[in-house]
């Protein structure tokens, strides 16, 4: 009877311990992110994507593009976005310093405002 109690306790402890373990993502250095807002990183700054369009006539020069997309947390660099795919173009807006706002070409001929939120802390 005493052996049965010991076996039962060990079995319960084993189930309890295995239930507390966590699954690792395919890349153990990454975990799915719950971003505070959609953004793009350009020139070492993070730009929050706004819900406002920029008129095509206000678009100046292309200043960069999205080089890395991910919805997993990690360490990324310039050209990273958690919203737009690789190849998405970034533009200067006429009369606005790029340290304040930039425009993102969300689809052919449609541009979205992105506001500078400061230095990117992902490094």
Instruction: Give tens-digit pLDDT for 16-47.
Output: 566 554 444 333 344 455 678 999 999 999 99
Q: What is the chain's mean pLDDT, rounded?
A: 82
Of 6-10, 33-37, 69-73, 98-102, the one with minimum mean pLDDT is 6-10
Q: Look at residue 5 and tell me whether its pLDDT is greater than 80.
A: no
Q: What is the DSSP string of 5-35?
A: HHHHHHHHHHHHHHHH--PPPSSTT--B---
- With beta carbons less than 8 A apart as the criterion, state whether 106 and 112 touch: yes
- With beta carbons less than 8 A apart as the criterion, state whether 119 and 46 touch: yes
pLDDT (mean) for 107-115: 93
The predicted pLDDT at position 9 comes to 62
């Amino acid at each position: 009877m005493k052996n049965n109690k010991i076996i039962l306790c060990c079995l319960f402890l084993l189930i309890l311990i295995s239930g507390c373990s966590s699954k690792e993502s395919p890349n153990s250095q990454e975990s799915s992110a719950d971003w505070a807002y959609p953004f793009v990183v350009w020139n070492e700054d993070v730009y929050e994507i706004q819900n406002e369009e920029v008129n095509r006539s206000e678009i100046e020069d292309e200043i960069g593009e999205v080089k890395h997309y991910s919805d997993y947390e990690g360490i990324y660099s310039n050209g990273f976005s958690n919203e737009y795919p690789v190849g998405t173009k970034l533009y200067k807006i006429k009369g606005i310093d790029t340290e304040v706002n930039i425009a993102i070409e969300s689809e052919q001929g449609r541009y979205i405002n992105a506001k500078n939120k400061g230095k990117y802390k992902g490094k």
